[in-house]
Structure 1
């Protein structure tokens, strides 16, 4: 998913952060929870200027602090600690239901944000899936959250380019410290990161950082455009290209030979404890890795049974493994010739389901929605994903589809993918959350993986109710996606807690779903790069489905699916424990 959803604590601090934080010092004895939450959000955006940009808050668009440096980390810890103390002084006895959620989420977020600062992820700041070097390229492309509408916008990003140069030097210093202390990336991840850094270091018209030069503001006259282009080009050549070149050279010559052979995060000194933290953070439960592993094995077995039934319904002769090979390779399931045809097919799915969606949801988002092909510079390592629009509607929510070769793009997984990443999945959840002005700002932009990804996976199960999955291969695609999330429970814990190798995890995935070795490798390396994130999908989906079944059974004919969905989404992304409590309050009042 997007960078904002993967970075739980936020990690970027403006140069003026200390002064801003002092101006925001909590006075909890006199303040209400609303005031405290509002001040926290403002201070946190100063602490995280890039996150602010992603949230559509543009006053920090020129700032890019060295978030992986110790001065930043100390200031961040002090900031979160001050709000922890302030929160303790809030009288909770008379809080409304909405405020109870705010209190619980703020308490949880502050605790997690402080705890993560005790670990050593800052010594491994660059990898192939989500890190600042990748995010900078997205922002600098001119097609993401960083605006390039006027001269000031271009000057803002030039300041960020300079900040990135300093960040890159600190990253190299940190990685040297990591080499000395055992906090290094797996070798396979370094190998995947190198071509990304190399491509972004090239002085080449295809380098995404030069893209904004092709769309200079029309409000400028020819002379002003030429001057701005010259300054902007100079900034790229002075700050961006050398920074990526330094990162590439260091990682190629110095870091790669020292990279570790182990695959899991338990291969670093405090890896087991760190993984336990990540499991709690991403699942928003107290489930242990062992419990999650056992749940994954159970779900894999159940879904394989459904797959056998679908295989038999097609008349296929052979075992499930042979059917996987057939689905993966049969040309009849590869019906596209161009990327445009793939995108048009996704648009057709949207048009087909919208009448049914309007009957399932009482409250639909106002935010616009669009479908785009993933940019070439990141497509090779990217999954299909959703990036939220801006709250003011100036930037639509976008469903990105990586299409390396349209002729290799299978149609079988398209319906469930759209339900998950687009409508009514991430687009509805993100948009309704951002549009709800009754939520404190920090909640309007909060991300709790188990809820957000769990809800999106739950949306895949709505396909039959929406008139999809009529083709058995499409429904097999749905089961493939579901077992994929169940497999994650097994392989993520396997890699990071049970000593599984990368190759062992790739084999388990290929044995249980119809993926190519290339696809399985990219997935397993994603889990290596962001431990425990992949657990959130199935854990959340199971809880949401459990709640729907519970209240359907309890209310019978009085159960309203639109009311269930509206209540589910109206408070935004929340921890699963909070979700269960608030749904009980909602249905208890009926």
Structure 2
């Protein structure tokens, strides 16, 4: 999963809600019959209409975001208006855009714009769905929240000029207004039973303490940009800016966080709903089906997804049994899983040792990358630990442009046999590889360069885990078992997510299913289960997305035979950016029809 430091990368804190930037929300748009990424035909009047509409809306949409790629690199962004009037204006805007989009004759668009229109329609439908279900009234889940994302942005801001520092201080002064609006939205959600389940919020208020309980101003994450300032700013101005920042943090930021902390402890968490299932939310059945469409870009019923998961888990278990035979383990699968979770040979003693191993795996991929990919991204990524404040509730790792986060909390729960699969998923060729390629592809319109569809992005990252076997990056049977465990984990998510939200599964039942079918540690099973409970549908994107890519590759290999080129296939998939799965299928069909020639033939 992409990390949450920059909302425009994978999720946008749009309107204060945690909303995937471009996943499907309402009705799947049909893929163009034969989409092409480029067209030499002159633009038609219909092309001009579509481009004017999408460009204008995208420019407006960027003003609504809490974050964007440029500001995330340099400064904490402006805090958006998330109040009722702004929410109503966003709903009205996207309804108008969707109505205008419906008047465009897709058949008269250029091949390139047929693809663009399919992707854009997904984006608008998703944004509309979020507004109609008032997702902004639930701006948190077990995994992510608006205050944590803001603190992370502050902690990682890189300010370069006096003007940027001045703007940053103004943002600090605006935090009380922003938090008051968020709290008002959360109260509205609380009143109608639209909250994460109470059990998934346990202890999450502690993530506020680094701001409210910092012993020194230098320890407050919002002061981080002032610890070291550019030498181009005169010393007297540095001192003055530090004084202004200290005043803003103590007078505005800390009190706002204290008020939020009291609200969470006294009102929100105690009164949050106790039911786990999405069906018990307002208009719950329709809401969960919209979540399925959003995260998978498919309109599958929950029961069918549940069965796909059961079948996949059974197939993967058979492969796990073979690994047990390879290592001559005497016992059944539960005994083998217990051995993997408890034997100290599979863990390290220090956080740095885990970071070092992750870095080694990432560099090993670098040595093989040219054999499997024709076109490589320019952007590099850092490997850093998950911040201490959120690490107890965070996943094992996250990745995205510029960063691969490794969770070093509770080292016995971070087995080395899972680290190769995690690294391939979160760093390269997964999220920290795929997302920069999209951003660097100047043939795509901006709304495709800077957006993310979960089924595609998570499907690609999970595919990369499996690709590691082809690449020879699993060196022991245990590492291969770690990969299989991760595959089973994502397949099991289909079972667990639909089980919890539509079939009345309990938290303990979901945890036990993961415990019986994966080698995940108990700590990770607990945090992951809470994520699925609090974030309906998101867990469905991984396995279904990977399945689409694997099916497309198998189709191309069969059709092209000796002409099949794995580098060209991967380039074809990656140059799309992030697209709905039907658009991916159409692109691979075109790849086959063109004889297996990729988008960068001189790099094949």
Distance 1:62 1:259, change over 3 A: closer
Distance 1:174 1:49, change over 3 A: closer
Question: What is the rounded CA distance, in whole Å, between the counterparts of 1:198 and 1:385 in structure 2?
Answer: 22
- Mapped contact 2:383–2:403 kept (Cα < 8 A): yes
Task: Tell me the residue number matched to 2:483.
Answer: 478
Corresponding residue SS for 1:399: strand
Q: Which residue of 2 aligns with 1:63?
A: 78
Q: List per-residue Cα deviations over 1:523-554 (Å, max 9, x = no partner).
A: 01111222111110000000100010111011
User: Aligned partners of 2:56, 2:69: CA distance in 1, in Å?
Assistant: 14
Match of 1:73 among 74, 87, 94: 87
Instruction: Give the aligned partner of residue 10 of structure 1.
Output: 14
Alpha carbons 1:189, 1:529 under 8 Å: kept: yes
Alpha carbons of 1:408 and 1:114: their partners in 2 closer, same or farther (altered >3 Å)? closer
Residue 365 of structure 1 is matched in structure 2 by 377
Report the alpha carbon displacement of residue 345 of structure 1 after superposing the two structures with TM.
1.5
Pairwise mapping of residues 418-437 of structure 1 onto structure 2 (< 5 A)?
A: 418-437=423-442
Matched with 1:195 is 206
Is the 2:296–2:540 contact (alpha carbons within 8 Å) kept by the matching residues of 1?
yes
CA distance in 2, matches of 1:453, 1:107: 20
Correspondent of 1:354 among 326, 343, 366:
366
Q: Would you say the 8 A contact 1:357–1:466 is kept in 2?
A: no
CA apart distance, 1:89: 4.1
Q: In the alignment, is the contact (CA less than 8 A) between 1:187 and 1:256 conserved in 2? A: yes
Query: Normalized against structure 2, the TM-score is what?
Result: 0.88
User: C-alpha separation between the residues in 2 aligned to 1:272 and 1:398?
Assistant: 37
Deviations 1:466-490 (A, max 9, x none): 2222301101100111111011111
- 1:292-441 matches, within 5 Å, as 292-334=305-347, 336-389=348-401, 397-406=402-411, 409-441=414-446
Instruction: Mark the CA change 1:258 to 1:350 in structure 2 (over 3 Å): closer, same or farther.
Output: closer
Residue in 2 that maps onto 1:529 = 534
- The answer to whether the Cα contact below 8 Å between 1:190 and 1:251 also exists between their aligned partners in 2 is no
Query: Of residues 50, 55, 80 in structure 2, which corresponds to 1:33?
Result: 50
Aligned partners of 1:29 and 1:583: how far apart in 2? 26
Shift in Å, 1:110: 1.1
Q: How many residues align?
A: 562
Among 162, 166, 188, the alignment partner of 1:151 is: 162
Q: State the TM-score, normalized to the length of structure 1.
A: 0.90
Q: Which runs of 5+ in 1 are unaligned?
A: 14-27, 390-396
Cα distance change on mapping 1:88 and 1:573 into 2, 3 Å: same
Tell whether the 8 Å contact from 2:482 to 2:519 is kept in structure 1 after alignment.
no
* Distance in 2 (alpha carbons) for counterparts of 1:350 and 1:174: 42
Does structure 1 residue 556 correspond to structure 2 residue 571?
Answer: no
Structure 1 residues 52 and 104 mapped into 2: Cα distance closer, same or farther (>3 Å)? same
**For 2:48, what is the secondary structure of its paired residue?**
coil
Aligned match of 2:65: 48
C-alpha distance in 2 between matches for 1:382 and 1:530:
14
Cα distance, 1:61 vs structure 2? 5.7
* CA RMSD in angstroms, aligned pairs only: 2.2
Provide, for residues 383-414 of structure 1, a one-character-per-residue CA deviation record: whole Å limited to 9, x for no partner.
Answer: 2444433xxxxxxx110101014465321011
In structure 2, the partner of 1:16 is: none
1:462 paired with 2:467, answer: yes
Q: Does 1:252 align with 2:257?
A: no
Q: Kindly indicate whether the alpha-carbon contact (under 8 Å) linking 2:46 and 2:109 is maintained by their aligned counterparts in 1.
A: no
Q: Is the 8 A contact 2:16 2:182 kept in 1?
A: no
Q: Secondary structure at the match of 1:316?
A: coil
Shift of 1:354: 2.4
Structure 2 residue 104 is the aligned partner of structure 1 residue 100: no
- SS for the counterpart of 2:106 is coil
Partner Cα distance (1:535, 1:108) in 2: 17
Give CA-to-partner distance per residue, 1:174-210, whole Å, 9 cap, x none.
3333333222331112223211123332243433222
Counterpart check, 1:450 vs 2:455: yes
Change in 2 beyond 3 A, CA 1:211/1:79: same
Partner residue of 1:124 out of 124, 138, 146: 138
Distance in 2, Cα, partners of 1:282 & 1:512: 24
Structure 2 SS opposite 1:463: helix
> Relative to 1, partners in 2 of residues 1:321 and 1:299: Cα closer, same or farther, differing over 3 Å?
same
Structure 1 residue matching 2:107: 3-state secondary structure: coil
Quote how far apart the aligned CAs of 1:119 are.
Answer: 0.9
**Contact 1:34 1:440 (8 Å CA) reproduced:** no
Closer, same or farther: CA 518–386 of 1 in aligned 2, 3 Å? closer
Q: Is the 8 A contact 2:193 2:272 kept in 1?
A: no
Instruction: Encode CA deviations 1:238-292: one digit per residue, 9 max, x unaligned.
Output: 2221111111111111223212221222232222221111110000011111111
Please state how far the C-alpha of 1:116 moved relative to its aligned partner. Answer: 1.9
Given that 1:29 and 1:89 are in contact with CA atoms closer than 8 Å, whether structure 2 keeps it comes out as no
2:297 aligned with 1:284: yes
Q: Quote the Cα distance in structure 2 between the aligned partners of 1:85 and 1:269.
A: 26
Check if 1:570 corresponds to 2:575: yes
Quote the residue 1:115 is aligned against. Answer: 129
Quote how far apart the aligned CAs of 1:495 are: 1.2
Distance in 1 between the 2:15 and 2:239 partners?
Answer: 36
